[in-house]
């Protein structure tokens, strides 16, 4: 970011994390659809719908205990507050068309 400031992009010159846009839930969730297809039948469970508390509990389980699963590596890449944002996002997708 500081480098960019040097080559004349002052709009991106934020040196402070506070000034960077936080990724929205849509961006956080995008890689999930590579495996959790929302359209095609799959053995991998769909993520839309379902109670938020269940989603968050599953993510923590993968992060802390299910170290044998590919989801362990994925869950580690997100923070607890991201889990909450994702949980809300997937619950709300219940009312949206498949993507
Ligand atoms: C590389 C493929 C892959 C990606 C990418 C992926 N998952 Fe998964 N996910 C899986 C597999 C496989 C399972 C079943 C794992 C198991 O039970 O061991 C799973 C299971 C889950 C479950 C449990 C579902 C249930 O009903 O039991 C949740 C929640 C979940 N994933 C969330 C996510 C989220 C959120 C993302 C994106 C941040 C994501 N996954 C990205 C492969 C993936």
CA neighbours within 13 Å on the CB side: how many for 74?
Answer: 16
Q: Give the global pTM.
A: 0.82
Protein residue with its CA nearest to atom 9 in ligand 1:
71
Asked if residue 36 has its Cβ within 6 Å of ligand 1, the reply is yes
Residues 90, 99 contacting (CB under 8 angstroms)? no
Asked if residue 13 has its Cβ within 6 Å of ligand 1, the reply is no
Give the distance from CA 18 to its chain's centroid: 20
Superfamily of domain 19-95: Cytochrome c-like domain (1.10.760.10)
CA distance 35 to 97: 18
Using most ligand atoms within 8 A of CB, pick from 38, 44, 71, 77 the residue to mutate for ligand 1.
71
Q: What is the pLDDT of residues 47-87, one digit of tens each?
A: 998 899 999 999 999 999 999 999 999 999 999 999 999 99
Q: What is the pLDDT of residues 10-24, one digit of tens each?
A: 455 545 656 666 779
């Amino acid at each position: 970011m500081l480098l960019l400031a040097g080559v004349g992009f002052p709009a991106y010159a934020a040196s402070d994390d506070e000034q960077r846009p936080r990724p929205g839930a849509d961006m956080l969730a995008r890689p999930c659809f590579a495996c959790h297809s929302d359209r095609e039948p799959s053995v991998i469970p769909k993520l839309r719908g379902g109670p938020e508390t269940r989603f968050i509990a599953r993510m923590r389980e993968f992060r802390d205990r299910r170290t044998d699963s590919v989801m362990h590596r994925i869950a580690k890449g997100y923070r607890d507050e991201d889990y909450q944002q994702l949980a809300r996002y997937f619950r709300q997708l219940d009312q949206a068309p498949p993507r």
